[in-house]
Structure 1
Amino acid sequence: MTGFGPVTQLAWVTDDLDATEQVLGATLGATGWTRMPEIHFGPESCTFRDRPADFTADISLSYAGDLQLELIRPVTGASLYAEFLAERGPGLHHVCCEVPDLDTAVEQARGTGLRVVQEGTMADGLMRFAYLDTSAAGASYVELAQVAPDLRALFADVRERAQGS
């Protein structure tokens, strides 16, 4: 395995978006957060631990330079985020690598013994994702994401807002 590409995002799971935004603003200079409340992940498009998943989460995005910062607050349902918060409390949850072909990247990961613990689509199919369990390396998760151009344009708008504030 040669790796999946550059890290494009750091993500935290939190029970308090306001406090986490403030801390990351003070420490990483992240401002101009864009909030997306109650994003729904349904069983037709998402699995958690090999079972259909049905959950919602509040998401907040900003940037530190070109690095996207994501905050996730579980709202309802069983998910990797709710599990993490219940077991470990708030904290750094995953790093994300964008990949050109998610199926190939997941096959590559499974070939090295890494297990997918949550996967699916969001934003009406504009992003496909898979979370790899990397706990054997002392880290939580690595997310692999295949992002469509329309969603990449939204991320560019979020970055512009964050850097313009």
Structure 2
Amino acid sequence: MKTKKISHIGIAVTSLEAAIPLYRDVLGMEFEGTEEVAEQKVKVAFFIAGESRIELLEATTSDSPVAKFLEKNGEGIHHLAYEVDDVKAAIAALQAQGVRLIDNEPRRGAHGTSIAFLHPKATGGVLTELCQPHKL
């Protein structure tokens, strides 16, 4: 498995409406818009930061993983996402190496990406996402 770049940094927030102005107006990042990812129980907002992105995550249900994160930790960095060419192949390579995963199969992420998460206990306490962009 080879990572291509940092795809994005996910930041959990209690309110996109309250958080967006900081990134857009104060920090001057280009705002790409919002999207609800029903499968993940979140609404996200993306900003361009060089060749990477910042992803703000707001829980849409009280039982979503982001809601649980916010309850335990408060707002802050939720995950680090790396871009890969093939998430399914990356999962297989990590499984072969005995790496603990949250996802054993790819699932849908924002913008139609294929994603999979590695367990933080396998990555020094950092929730790590592998992200394969949607091919047009």
TM over 0.5: yes
CA distance in 1, matches of 2:23, 2:99: 30
Unaligned ranges ≥5, structure 1 = 42-54, 151-165
CA distance in 1, matches of 2:53, 2:7: 6
Percent identical across equivalent pairs? 23
Mapped pair 1:121 → 2:108: yes
> Tell me, what secondary structure is at the counterpart of 2:11?
strand
CA distance in 1, matches of 2:97, 2:22: 36
Q: Which amino acid in the other structure matches residue 121 of structure 1? A: R
- Specify the alignment match of 2:21 in structure 1: 22
- Specify the alignment match of 1:161 in structure 2: none
Shift of 1:3: 4.9
- Specify the alignment match of 1:71 in structure 2: 56
> Tell me, what secondary structure is at the counterpart of 1:18?
helix
Shift of 1:67: 1.4
Q: Which runs of 4+ in 1 moved over 6 A?
A: none
- Specify the alignment match of 2:127 in structure 1: 141
Shift of 1:77: 5.6
CA distance in 1, matches of 2:5, 2:80: 10
CA distance in 1, matches of 2:20, 2:121: 26
* 1:86-130 deviation per Cα after TM superposition (whole angstroms, max 9, x unaligned): 211111111111111111111222334432225512469x32111
The alignment yields a C-alpha RMSD, in angstroms, of 2.6
> Tell me, what secondary structure is at the counterpart of 1:23?
helix
> Tell me, what secondary structure is at the counterpart of 2:14?
coil
Q: Which amino acid in the other structure matches residue 22 of structure 2? A: V
CA distance in 2, matches of 1:30, 1:102: 28
The answer to whether the Cα contact below 8 Å between 1:114 and 1:134 also exists between their aligned partners in 2 is no
TM-score by length of 2: 0.79
CA distance in 2, matches of 1:112, 1:4: 16
Q: Which amino acid in the other structure matches residue 11 of structure 2? A: W
What is the aligned length? 133
TM-score by length of 1: 0.67
CA distance in 2, matches of 1:128, 1:32: 22
Unaligned ranges ≥5, structure 2 = none
